[in-house]
Amino acid sequence: MESLQNIKQRFGIIGNYDGLNRALEKALRVSATEITVLVTGESGVGKENIPKIIHQFSPRKHAKYIAVNCGAIPEGTIDSELFGHEKGAFTGATSTRSGYFEVADGGTIFLDEVGELPLPTQVRLLRILENGEFLKVGSSKVQKTDVRIVAATNIKMNEAIKKSKFREDLYYRLSTVEIHLPPLRERKEDIQLLFRKFASDFAQKYKMPALRLDDDAQRILEQYRWGGNIRQLRNIAEQVSVLEKNRTLNSKTLRNYLPHLGSQLPAVIDHSEKEADFSSEREILYKVLFDMKNDLNDLKKLTYELMENESVSSVQKNNPELIKKIYGESDNENKTVEFISPESSSVSHKTAPPINQYDYAETVIEEEPLSLLEKEIEMIKQALKRSNGKRKIAAQELGISERTLYRKIKQFDLQDDESE
C-alpha cells in the first residue's frame, strides 16, 4: 500500500489535517474491495478525488471510470443518460443509445450529487445495486452490468429521508462505507499551504511573481469561514494574483476580496415547520382541489338559503361568516350576492325538448334556472313597489348596487313597474 504522501502528490491533494488523512486512509482500504462508498462533505471540499483514488488502486483500474453529475442532468432525461434508451422510446430518440451503466461495465462509475436524483431513478439505481440488472428506457429486455458505484453528496441525507426526497433503503445500500471530508474552516493549518500552492500555480500561469502574505493577512485567512471551501480559496487567490500589483499582500487589501467579512458567527436558523411546506406539486394540486370543493359546498348552501328566503338582506344577515368566507373582505359594505342569470338560459328553456318519463335529471336542471329567474324578477318588483320606484332605496333593500339594479330593470323590461 502506498503512503499517504505519495497519494497526495499523485492526486494534487494538499494538507495534513487529521480528518483529511483519515478519509484518504479509508479510501485506500476499501479500494481493493467491491464495497459501495458514499463520500459526504460540503460543496468545494474536493470530494471528486476520493473516487479517483478508489478506482486507481482497485482491480478495475484498467477499465473505464465515468463521473456523472446527477444534479446537472434534467429530470426528464436522466434515466436515458444513466440506463440508455431504445429507438423510438420518446420524441427525438432516433437511434438506440447506451447509458453510462452499460458503457462503464467492468469499471467504476462516480455519481456526484446523488441526493438530487428523482425518486423513480432511485428505484432503478437500487435494482442495479441489488442484482446488477437494469432496463433501457422503452425496452422490456433486462440487461446485466458489473460496475462499482461510488456516490457523493453535499446534502444531509437524514433530512432528505425525513422529507421523503431520498429513499432510506437506497441510502443504506450506498453508504456501506461513508467517507467524510472536513470543511476548509476546520483545516486552519492547511489554509496557508493551499493559498501558497494556488498563488504559485497562478504565478506560473500568468507569468508573474508569486504573492506573499504578511502576518495579519495570514491571520485573516485562518479566521474566515470559507463557505465555498477550497473552491472559494482558489478563486480568491486567482483574483488577487491578477489584480494586485504589489506582490506582498496585507490585511487591508485582502479584506477587499473577502465577501461579507464581518461577524463570522454561525447564523441562527429557525427549524420550525412552515404551514405551506409542500414536498411536491401533487400535494399542492390536492390542496387546491380540496379548497375548491369546500367553496362549492358553501355556495350550494348559500344558494339553498336564497331559494328558501325571499329577502336577500335577511340571508345576508343570517350568514355573514359564510358570505365573507366565499367572497372575502370587501371595501363596499353594500356588496353582496347578486343573482346573475345567463342570457342563454331563457333560450335554452324555449328550445328544450319535451319532458318524457326517462328524462328526470334534465327536467330538474331546466326548471331550476327558471324558478330562480322568476324569484329574482318578483323580488325586484316588490322592492320597487315598496320604495315607490326609487332605485337607490330599492337597491339598498336588495343588497345590490344601484347600477346593477338599473341594468336588471332594463334586462327584464321592468320600466312600467317602476313608473307605477
* Greater model confidence, 317 or 382: 382
Q: Residue 51 pLDDT > 80, yes or no?
A: yes
The three-point CA angle 262-267-268 to 5° equals 145
Domains of the chain: 4-182 (3.40.50.300), 185-255 (1.10.8.60), 281-331 (no CATH), 338-420 (no CATH)
H helical segments located in 17-153:
18-31, 49-56, 78-83, 100-103, 119-131
Q: How many CB atoms lie within 10 A of CB 31?
A: 23
The proportion of the chain whose per-residue pLDDT surpasses 90, expressed as a percent, equals: 57
Cell of 296: 362549492
What number is the average pLDDT over the span 7-12?
Answer: 93
Which of 50-54, 107-111, 318-322, 414-418 is predicted least confidently?
A: 414-418
What's the predicted TM-score (pTM) here? Answer: 0.63
- Region of residue 183 (phi > 0: left; psi between -120 and 50: alpha; otherwise: beta): beta
Q: Among residues of the chain, what percentage have pLDDT more than 70?
A: 80
Model confidence band, residue 331 (pLDDT cutoffs 50, 70, 90): very low
* Mean pLDDT score across all residues of the chain: 83
Instruction: Count CB-CB contacts under 10 A for residue 413.
Output: 9
The string of pLDDT tens digits covering residues 241-256 is 999 989 999 999 999 9
What residue has cell string 476548509?
Answer: 184
* H or E stretch covering 281: helix 281-308
pLDDT of residue 268: 54
